[in-house]
Amino acid sequence: MNSATVRTLLVRGMLAGVVAGLFALVTASFLGEPHVDAAIAFEEAHAHSHEGGEEVVSRGMQATAGLATAVLVYGVAIGGIASLVFSYALGRTGRFGPRATAMLLSGAAFVCVYLVPFLKYPANPPSVGDPESLDKRTALYFLMVLLSVLLAVAATILGRRLAPRLGNWYATVTAVLGFAAAVGIAYAFLPSVSELPEHFPALLLWRFRVSTLAVQLVLWTAFGLTFAHLAERALRPRTARDGGVGEDAKDGEQREAEQGAAPSSTAPAAN
């Protein structure tokens, strides 16, 4: 794949990321923000002391412009990265076309980048928890993301190497089981972090975490569908156009040959 095609896919991936970010923004606004407000209200109601500092960014700004900026920037970033991965993976992961490759990549990214780390270190509502453990929790979360991605790459390589001996189906099953086993070992050895207040409502916590999961699911699904369509249009028309030019060239050469041969065959008859 040449650099011009990669650049085209990069632009379309970022555009798909914007579209996915808009869908995720709507989902977060309707599902996530009410639970964030409830968590903040709980924290304020049970706080024993309040600092008298002025609020730097208002809650209204955080829930509107702040949320939109964060989600859209995140969408553009993951769109650009995913498009580069797509450019490398296309044709190397089996006989999948652009649309199927984009959807498989989107699903794998959702599982590896978000779902696997989320199951070990689920999201907590803002302003709830111990601020002193924030750095530790953040470091552990990104460590889990890194491990998940590396294990997924290793599982893909394992599946490709086993395919000639076991067949595609059994090689894929073996690779997936190996990935799940390795993730389970990582879960067992990495420390857990619990920083919620003792009497925090379990239902509110559950709804908040489900809403964050829904936002990510909408984000990656929208990105996969949008980028699959854009990548298909970027790659397929050119292939068809190249083929069409070749056929037209052949037809033209044949017509020229026929037209050139006609005078030579009729010339003697005229004499």
Q: Are residues 69 and 186 in the same domain?
A: no
Phi, psi of 190 (to 5 degrees): -75, 140
Q: Are 207 and 139 in contact (CB under 8 A)?
A: no
pTM equals 0.77
Take residue 160 and report the two structure tokens written for it: 């490709």
Overall domain count for the chain: 2
Q: Is residue 249 part of a domain?
A: no
Asked whether residue 51 is assigned to any structural domain, the reply reads no
Residue 84 lies in a domain: yes
In the chain, DSSP finds a helix count (H) and a strand count (E) of 9, 0
pLDDT band at 112 (very low <50, low <70, confident <90, very high): very high
Does residue 14 sit in the same domain as residue 141? no
Instruction: Please tell me whether residues 74 and 22 are part of one structural domain.
Output: yes
Per-residue model confidence (pLDDT) at position 203 = 83
Domain presence at residue 55: no
What's the rounded Cα separation, in Å, for the pair 111 and 58? 34
CA-to-CA distance for 217 and 24, rounded, in angstroms? Answer: 9
Same domain, 36 and 101: yes
Would residue 265 count as lying in a domain? no
Same domain, 114 and 14: yes
186 pLDDT higher than 90? yes
Question: 176 in a domain, yes or no?
Answer: yes
Q: Which residue has the higher pLDDT, 226 or 65?
A: 226
At 227 the pLDDT is 93
Question: For residue 143, what are the domain limits?
Answer: 130-195
Identify which of 88-97, 204-213, 254-263 has the greatest average pLDDT: 204-213
Average pLDDT over residues 92-117: 88
Is residue 155 in a domain? yes
